[in-house]
Chains A and B, each alone.
Chain A
Amino acid sequence: MRVTVEQIDREREEELIVRCHDPGAAWVQGVQEAVSGQQTVCGWREDEMHRLKLSEIFYFEVVDDRSFLYTQAAVFEAKEKLYEFERLCTGSTLFRCSKSMILNAEKIDYVRPSLSGRFEAVLSNGEKVVVSRKYAADLKRMLGV
């Protein structure tokens, strides 16, 4: 595999483009984790601030204009708005799954269709969340379907 490193001006935004045959390949995931998986976000719980890795987060949800981060077994309040968190997650395995939620694709156990024209994603901790059909296409693209 060829690796190209290009030095650019300070004015230009740094970016990493991965050209691969299989976006779901382990090495691609590894690159994504190296770039964004170690990225952290602040979550508050009982007046304590916690640093959470993006890879730890199951989903981010906005309820009544308040933002929450859900991990395996805990819930933290976040300061970011939905669009800010979405921007933060660019290039990671988190994707917008509905009008008020950003979901970590890595935490999905399986998805099933629901009568309401949407999908129900069952997460590895047993929680069920809704994935809109509009955003299911993004999940497909992310997984390389």
Chain B
Amino acid sequence: MKNITLWMRRYVTVYGIIMLCTFFMCLLFNPTSELSVVSFFGRIMVFTLIALLSLAVYYSKEELTVKAWWVRTMLHLLLLEAVLLPLAHSWGFWQGGTDILVYAGFILLAKALWHLVDYGLNAKTAAQINERIRKNRLEKRA
């Protein structure tokens, strides 16, 4: 149950980030294009699913070292670009020329945002834990 909640939360976060990136990409570079709501959200769902499946890159039996984590993060970014760029092109999210660079930049931005959201949530958890540790220490002293 704990894992299901975690993955649901991840899905919603990634979905939101990809939806915003794609929306702004279309708004900036293809403002006249029309896409039905169901089609737009359906494609974003597929994008999200691919993005989450690609997290398998991080799978390891051992705990990852910081260096190994950075290597896999780079690999993950490359994998995302390699899979999402052609798919987005086939769906008409970008046409050519500078579009590809901007879309690749959006994927990079989305990944950075994902890690930032993660960091923010962890900072909140760390603050709660530290507050509890501090209270426990004060109680023991009293």
Contacts and interface: CB of A to CB of B under 8 A. Distances in A.
B122 A133 contact: yes
A145 B62 contact: no
Contacts of A100: 62-63
B128 A113 contact: no
Interface string B57-86: 000011110100110000000000000000
A132 B126 contact: no
B132 interface: yes
A24 B126 contact: no
Interface string B1-25: 0100010000000000000000000
Contact of A24 (B64, B128, B132): B132
B27 interface: no
Given A24-B135, A98-B63, A99-B61, A139 B129 contact: yes
Contacts of A145: 128-129, 131-132
B50 interface: no
Contact of B122 (A108, A119, A134, A139): A119
A16 to B, nearest CB: 21
A26 B140 contact: yes
Contacts of B140: 26
Contact of B129 (A101, A111, A116, A117): A111
A73 interface: no
A117 B69 CA distance: 10
Majority DSSP secondary structure for residues of B touching A:
helix
Contacts of B136: 24, 143
B63 A130 contact: yes
Which DSSP category, helix, strand, loop or mixed, fits chain A's interface? Answer: mixed
A24 B2 contact: no
Contact of A140 (B62, B69, B123, B129): B129
B64 A144 contact: no
Contacts of A112: 126
Nearest to B73: A116
Contacts of B89: none
Nearest to A144: B132
Interface in A89-145: 98-101, 108-119, 130, 132-134, 136-137, 139-140, 143-145
Interface of A: 24-26, 98-101, 108-119, 130, 132-134, 136-137, 139-140, 143-145
Interface of B: 2, 6, 61-64, 66, 69-70, 115, 118-119, 122-123, 125-126, 128-133, 135-136, 139-140
9 contacts: A24-B132, A25-B139, A108-B133, A113-B125, A113-B126, A117-B115, A119-B126, A136-B122, A136-B129
